[in-house]
Each structure stands twice: as C-alpha cells, then as structure tokens.
Structure 1
Amino acid sequence: MKKIIILFHLLIVAIIFSQKKFDVVYEADYKLNYKLSNANNYKKETTFALLINEKSSFFKDLHRYISDSLLVEKKLNTLEEAMKYNTDFRGYIGTTSAKLYVTDEINYAYFGYEEPNNINWKIKNEFKTIAGYKCQRAEATKYGRTWIAWFASEIPFQFGPYKFNGLPGLIAEVYDTKDDYHYTLYAFRKRKYTCKSANNATNVKNLTKEKVAEIFKNRLAGKLRLNEQFIENAEDREYMKQNAIKAEKNYNPIELSLY
C-alpha cells in the first residue's frame, strides 16, 4: 500500500516538475532530533541543508534535497530509489531580512505563504563551543514555544535552521525548552554553485498562513480519499481511519501557535 501511494506521488511530481534556482555561496548542514507525537517519548532524526548567499537562505530536508536533485538530473527512475528519500519534512523555507517564504506540500499539492521575519531575541552573556565555533546564547518565545539558540559571531550570516534567524552570526544550535525539536550544526563550508532544484514546487496556491494551517489540520480527509482508492476492505479502511485520528490527536508540531 505504501509503495503504491509513493509511486502515485512520484508520478505527480514528474508531471508538474519545474526547477527554481538558488545561487549558493555557503552551506550549513544540521541534524534534527524531533518528537512528532505526545503519545510517547520516541524521537526521530533527520538532516537538513541551509543554503546561504549574501542576501538570503533556503532551507530543506537533505532527503528532499537529494531526491529533488536526482529528479532534475533524471536519475530517480525506480520506486525503491524514491522510497529511500521519504521524509516527514517535505516543505521549503526561504529567508530574507524582512520575510519568510514558506512552501508546504499537503496531500500532494503545494501551498505557499509569507510571514514577517521578526523574532525578538534576547542575547545572554553565556558561551559554548559547537562544531568548533565559539557560540553565544540567545532566547526567544515564538510559535508557542520558548527557544534557546547559540550563534557563532565568526560566521557573519544572520541565518539559521527552520525559521530561526536574525542574530549577529549563524545559528549553530537551537532547541525548545521541552527539547521536542533540537537542531545542531554539524558542517559548514563554502560551496559556490547554483542549486537547480532548490524549490521544485509548481502550481503553488498562495494563501495566508492561517488558511494553510487550516488545510494542514484537515489533511486527514484528503489522505483518506486517496487511500480509499486502493483499500477495498471496509474493516481495513476503518482501522486506518482510527489510527489516523489517534495520530492527529497526539501530533506534536514544531509550531504550537502561528506566531
């Protein structure tokens, strides 16, 4: 069943694919430890790439980064290869000094929104070393959580993982006080090239953040409609539905509030 759904998604991507480029000067790679469900303490791990130039940054899961690159090069040809790059984080985030530009994939469709880049950090007189860089502590309350960030002044870019930025140096580590989401820098290097597959989303419907959040909350119905195409047994459909409802109830997103 899972293979059929992923193949269906791969076919959609192939049909609507187009490429949007991003000129990269540096790349910062992060590890994320995260807890998607409040039902238990189980944590998962993935990695992200933060592409950086003088004026902006672009953030995406490395699994998605690789699969998008393979699609551009027409080297992702089998279902087994596609399944290797499945990820919980299929969206993209572009950052400038003034705004955040977010593209989310929900039920195999793309939705975009903008929001102000306005995190109010409080810098503390506390230091530690991360990935070989001396970092200073900062704190902020955003998206319904209290965040602790560590930034490296010797890397003069005011960017960081996810939507976190605006400090006088690259953010090397950031996590919430419950440690549900914890980003840590593990590599930073110069990489001057043009990324041809930064954002492969097409037919993006631009909405408000509030509307996109509403669509995401109601995504279960769309998933069920898709899955019902392949599940004939009524008991199997009901079992899947109950599990999905339970998962929705215990879902622990990175953003507990919109702002």
Structure 2
Amino acid sequence: MRIFLFILLFFVNLFSAQNFENSNIKCNYLTKFLIDTTDSNTKKEEITSLWIGKNISIFKSDQKARYDSLAKESARNSFQNPVNGRVILDFSKIPRAHFIPEVLKIGNKLEIFDKVLNVNYVYESDQKINWTLLNETKIISTYKCRKAVGKYHNKNMTAWYTEEIPVPEGPYTFKGLPGLVIEAYDDKDFFHFTLVKLKNVSELIAPIKNAINTDYQRFLKKRIDYQNDPAGAYFIATGRTTPKELKGKIEKMHRSNNNHLD
C-alpha cells in the first residue's frame, strides 16, 4: 500500500504544471546528427523546437515532447483502469526520440537536462560561448544572416543569426548573439541545426520534473561509466543481470552511441 501511494504521489507531482511562462514564439529546427561518429549510416534527422517566452525558453525534440505527452496520458489511463487490481505502466509502443537533451534558459541561467540509463539528470551549464562576430553574410530561409564563430567544449561552432529577429536565442545552448540563430553546426558537421518554421505560439514552458540535480563533471562520469560497462551500470541501477546472450550486443550498441554535443 505504501509503495502504491508513493507511486501515485510521484505521478501526481509529475503531472502538475509548474508556474512557468507561456511562450510567444516557437521555432522549429531540422536537426541532423550522428549517433556514432565512426559510422555515417547512423545519421538521424529530427525536428526540434525552441519555445521562447519573455524571460524563459526551452529547447527539445518535438518527438520527445510527444513521447512525454503520450507517456503521461498512458500513465493516467493505467491508473484509471488497473488490471486485476494492478497498475501496469507500459510505454514500449510509444515512439522514442533520438535527440535527448533539453535546454532550459531562465534569465542568464542555462540548465541542461539529459539521460543516463533512463534516469533524468539536470545540471547548470558551465560553458559560456564567447562568440566572434564576422563580417560575412548570406540569405537563409529569406532571412539575411550574419556569421559568428565560437567554441563550445571541444567543438568549434559556426552560427548564422539574423538581426531581423532581435532575440538572443537559438537551438541548444547556442544563444547570446544579436539575433535569432537561423543555422548552427560544428566544424565536423556531427550536429547541424537549420530553422524551418517560426510562428507565434502561446504554450506553457515547463521543464522535466523530478530530474536529479548534479553538475557536469558528475554527469559526464556517469555517462562514461555506463558506456564502458552498460551491463554493470544496469545491474547497479536495477539489481537485475543482463542475459549473457545479450551482453555483447548491448555493450556494442551503447558504446557506439558516442556523439554528444558537450
């Protein structure tokens, strides 16, 4: 009974909306990225979105937003319709996103939400991009754009921004320029963001709830430990052993998931 009440309170907390702002603008970006930097066949494309409010913004995958919404709906239905007195939560049939991280900006503070072994973590970004503005222009999606370059962790980034939309916003953490970022990519083109649609939208901006607070170095260690020994990390997290016949396949799959924006 106590376990059931704990789960119920968890989901009630999960579903309750926080008092965040509504967006004014929604920007859709076509995001192209590699899962495995050693294999060009692992390239993915996904629509990601940037919701911009007066003092807040959030960037995440549209598919992830749909997954979160459908998962909440499925959980509600499971609680309302238990099977033989049991609440069964099954999200396996909901299509998952490949682009996982989310970025929440409140004022000048950037928080990054990411996952390791289906556990959500949140840490404050300790990387500020010192953009260099260049005297180079081009037209992208009818917008006159100017070029800027900067370094983010170990990636050399190029951003094209437009002063026609004078908001210092952009995909992921690529913000702080004199206009909206229309296109951004790293020098190896492992990640490439291009604006495909912009419209006025009033929607609640709210981040993932119940994420574990950490810092970047601790998060990075967890991710490296998991990639080095996914079966061991799975056992520590769940107490369950990975079947021997699947161990090699699982280790190869997770080690090949090696392309990260940070």
The bucket for the TM-score relative to the shorter chain is: 0.7 to 0.9
- Counterpart in the other structure of 2:152: 142
Change (3 A) 1:14 1:66: same
* Identical residues among aligned pairs (%): 24
Cα distance between partner residues in 1 of 2:30 and 2:12: 32
1:65 Cα deviation (Å)?
1.0
Within the alignment, does 1:175 sit opposite 2:180 as a pair? no
- Counterpart in the other structure of 1:127: 137
- Counterpart in the other structure of 1:239: 248
- Counterpart in the other structure of 1:5: none
Q: Deviations over 1:179-222 (max 9, x none)?
A: 11100000111112325xx32331x3211111011111122233
1:141 Cα deviation (Å)?
1.4
Aligned residues: 237
- Counterpart in the other structure of 2:45: 45
Change (3 A) 1:231 1:101: closer
Cα distance between partner residues in 1 of 2:121 and 2:91: 26
> 1:23 aligns to what SS in structure 2?
coil
Cα distance between partner residues in 2 of 1:90 and 1:253: 10
- Counterpart in the other structure of 1:17: 14
Change (3 A) 1:61 1:223: farther
Deviating more after overlay: 134-143 vs 93-102? 93-102
- Counterpart in the other structure of 1:107: 117
Normalising by structure 1, report the TM-score.
0.79
> 1:118 aligns to what SS in structure 2?
coil
Contact 2:29 2:47 in 1 (8 A): yes
Alignment of 1:32-71 (within 5 A): 32-42=31-41, 43-71=43-71
The structure 2 residue matched to 1:155, chosen from 138, 152, 165, is 165
C-alpha RMSD over aligned residues: 2.9
Aligned amino acid, residue 40 of structure 1: D
Change (3 A) 1:154 1:214: same
1:241 Cα deviation (Å)?
4.6
> 1:146 aligns to what SS in structure 2?
strand
1:225 Cα deviation (Å)?
6.2
Normalising by structure 2, report the TM-score.
0.78
1:55 Cα deviation (Å)?
1.6
> 1:193 aligns to what SS in structure 2?
coil
Q: Deviations over 1:63-85 (max 9, x none)?
A: 11112233455598699985443
Contact 2:71 2:94 in 1 (8 A): no
- Counterpart in the other structure of 1:252: 259
Aligned amino acid, residue 30 of structure 2: K
1:88 Cα deviation (Å)?
2.3
Question: Larger RCO: Structure 1 or Structure 2 (Cα < 8 Å, ≥ 6 residues apart)?
Answer: 1
Change (3 A) 1:131 1:83: farther
Cα distance between partner residues in 2 of 1:100 and 1:26: 19
Change (3 A) 1:238 1:73: closer
Cα distance between partner residues in 2 of 1:139 and 1:252: 21
Structure with max Cα Rg:
2
Cα distance between partner residues in 2 of 1:64 and 1:22: 20
Change (3 A) 1:27 1:143: same
1:97 Cα deviation (Å)?
4.4
Contact 2:23 2:204 in 1 (8 A): yes
1:156 Cα deviation (Å)?
1.6
1:229 Cα deviation (Å)?
4.5
Cα distance between partner residues in 1 of 2:146 and 2:204: 31
Cα distance between partner residues in 1 of 2:72 and 2:248: 38
Aligned amino acid, residue 23 of structure 1: N
1:161 Cα deviation (Å)?
0.4
Cα distance between partner residues in 2 of 1:34 and 1:242: 21
Aligned amino acid, residue 41 of structure 1: S
Cα distance between partner residues in 1 of 2:13 and 2:116: 15
- Counterpart in the other structure of 1:26: 25
- Counterpart in the other structure of 1:222: 233
